[in-house]
Structure 1
Amino acid sequence: MGKQMNMRKAAVIGCGFVGSATAFTLMQSRLFTELVLLDASFDKADGEAKDIAHGIPFAGQMKVYAGNYDDIADAAIIIVTAGASQKPEETRLDLVNKNVAVYKNIIPEIAKQEFQGILLIVSNPVDILTYAAVKLSGFPERRVIGSGTVLDTARLKYVLSEHLRVDSRSIHAFIIGEHGDSEIAAWSSANVSGIPLDDFCEMRGHFDHEEAMDRIAEKVKDSAYEIISKKHATYYGIAMAVKRICECIVRDEKSILPISSIQHGNYGMEGIALSMPAVIGLHGVETHVPVSLDEEETELLKRSADTLKGVIDGLDFN
């Protein structure tokens, strides 16, 4: 057994844009009393930790510091954002070999610590790396969660809320599948406070449903590319998504989020990680939620799974 787990402690591995934005967000969240940052460059982690720590007087007492693998054994959640980031013109899947190599260094180090908490994978391609993290760590699958399409789903709710002029929190809709180009907007189960989406659209004066759905889904899918082309990285949205996942775990909320985890038989998918709605609590993934899909969505999900399966089959975890 590893060290006694500290439920108020988190670690972030990788202090690039995503890691440091995540750490900054978690400092303000008051979810944790201790936050340790790791990076290939100790100075980078130390600089980020010191900068973030100077905000503590405005947020509430906690410890934020740079550390090493020995410092993270008792964390409740380890958030991995390390790896090469997506460049303009590059897809998330293009990153795969670079970042699997990075994970071959990081994940065994975490496993060596006999870590007992939740491993939250954020680096891209997140679905492949979630699968890699399970294989390289030997941890139970429920304890390895990818941030998946939690952010894509938030983007969908945001765009829909603008379209419908309604609070995004009243919109219930999911992006599922790969966090990437083959993702699927599950329109057939979308609703606004229980009212079918098409009915609500008509209530708000929108009648061209097909065109609007296609346009909105494309906008969501392309939003990361657009942001990357303009500012070279996306990090605020994902930092908020990571905070939301951490809340569900630390508070044992049993909320339903479209996280990435290994699938067993859901819509015939086997032995790949991708995003489907799941109940998330203290012990990670409690159960997958059987979201209803129409025939076209089911076919697209199968295609998304096949895309990821093709990549996984080409990887070597030995």
Structure 2
Amino acid sequence: MTTIETVEKCMRHIAPHVENMDTKVTIVGSGAVGMGVATALLIQEISKNVVLVDMDGKRVAGEVLDLQHATPFLSNSQVSGGTDYTLTKNSRVCVLTAGVRQDVGESRLGLVQRNVEVFKKIIPAIVEQSPNCVLVVVTNPCDILTYVAWKISGFPPERVFGSGCDLDSARFRALLAQKFEVAPNSVHGNIIGEHGDSSVAVWSGVNIAGLFVKDIHPAIGTEEDPERFIDVHKAVIQGAYDVIKLKGYTSWAVGYTVANIVKDILDNVYAVHMLSVNVAGLYGIKESVFLSLPTILGSKGIHEIILLMLNDEEQQKLQESAKLLWDIQKDLVF
């Protein structure tokens, strides 16, 4: 007796099974970051249908099998994957984590052209299978590769963005919370600009319960500050490098950050995130570069960009961040 015959004797077939498409999320890349995203999506029950794609067939098969064995503890979520992009068909969200890993001491910008070549292979395959998806770029250098993804995909700007400074802002809030000895979700502060060394801390907006710290401590975030709040921003920039130096890669913080982004797309909650978006025409920036600004996120992707009231110094730093990226971006071949 075959297995199928046994199943038929155990139950009466009424209708075919239907794949859960409402929360289908594809993750391209089954490395540390991709698996960080996948596990965060599954553990928090954000997606009932997670697909992993990787050029390394053996690796992705092992990761899929491992996660499938855990599905009895994950509300029976569906996990699949492989090297074939047809598995990703009709995904609601596609998260791009594939690329060359950042080496110890290597800046994010040093990865540019190598990862452009990777995207030239990945993105057309995604677009073919899921022409209506939202593309979330995580691969570093995130801002430039978001621009590359936007150009290659041909998608409208609201459906292509990078995870950008959402993680940087989370690190910022966590470190500020330690100084003020309050919960991280009770401290409000944003990192904007490049997801990298030229990021901008918006000290003018740091507040606790609406109390703007700059009003009582005007020197905050400057080198003249005796309390050295500026070191908090420096620690945010250094954070990824420290993790890579200690364990070889980043995974958990970025995984939970991206899972939270995906959740707010699927739930259509219009939440605010610090995401990498096209800033041409904003803050005196003329070029189509992607930098992080507070954005309102819903089911179609980016719905609005919040225009912060930056002071002159913050706006100048944002412009410098844009110039730094454009000087590299303008010479890319893709």
Instruction: Calculate the TM-score normalised by the size of structure 1.
Output: 0.93
What are the residue-to-residue correspondences of 1:131-150 with 2, within 5 Å?
Answer: 131-150=147-166
CA distance in 2, matches of 1:201, 1:250: 40
Number of equivalences: 309
Q: Is the 8 A contact 1:198 1:209 kept in 2?
A: no
Residue 308 of structure 1: CA displacement?
Answer: 0.6
Local SS of the residue matching 1:6 = coil
User: Which consecutive residues of structure 1, in runs of 5 or more, have no partner in the other structure?
Assistant: 203-207
Local SS of the residue matching 1:316 = coil
Q: Percent identity?
A: 35
Residue 213 of structure 1: CA displacement?
Answer: 2.2
Instruction: Calculate the TM-score normalised by the size of structure 2.
Output: 0.89
What is the letter of the counterpart of residue 119 of structure 1?
L
CA distance in 2, matches of 1:164, 1:109: 48
What is the letter of the counterpart of residue 328 of structure 2?
V
What is the letter of the counterpart of residue 311 of structure 2?
D
Local SS of the residue matching 1:290 = coil
Match of 1:56 among 49, 71, 88: 71
Q: Is the 8 A contact 1:5 1:74 kept in 2?
A: no
Going from structure 1 to structure 2, the CA distance change for 1:25 and 1:200 (only over 3 Å counts) comes to farther
Q: Is the 8 A contact 2:25 2:91 kept in 1?
A: yes
Q: Is the 8 A contact 1:5 1:75 kept in 2?
A: no
Structure 1 residues 196-225: Cα deviation after superposition (integer angstroms, max 9, x where no partner): 1246889xxxxx856432111101111111
Match of 1:16 among 18, 22, 31: 31
Residue 87 of structure 1: CA displacement?
Answer: 0.7
Match of 1:248 among 253, 264, 271: 264
State the Cα RMSD in Å.
1.8
Match of 1:127 among 122, 143, 156: 143
1:47 corresponding residue in structure 2? 62
Residue 179 of structure 1: CA displacement?
Answer: 0.4
1:31 lines up with 2:16 in the alignment: no
2:5 corresponding residue in structure 1? none
Match of 1:86 among 80, 102, 120: 102
Going from structure 1 to structure 2, the CA distance change for 1:105 and 1:226 (only over 3 Å counts) comes to same
- Which stretches of structure 1, 4 residues or longer, exceed 3 Å deviation after superposition? 198-202, 208-211
CA distance in 1, matches of 2:205, 2:226: 15
CA distance in 2, matches of 1:42, 1:128: 28
1:309 lines up with 2:330 in the alignment: no
1:239 lines up with 2:255 in the alignment: yes
1:288 corresponding residue in structure 2? 305
Q: Is the 8 A contact 1:151 1:237 kept in 2?
A: yes
What is the letter of the counterpart of residue 131 of structure 1?
Y
What is the letter of the counterpart of residue 243 of structure 1?
A
Match of 2:245 among 202, 221, 229: 229
Rg bigger for which structure? 2
CA distance in 2, matches of 1:316, 1:87: 23
Q: Is the 8 A contact 2:269 2:298 kept in 1?
A: yes
What is the letter of the counterpart of residue 49 of structure 1?
V
CA distance in 2, matches of 1:13, 1:304: 28
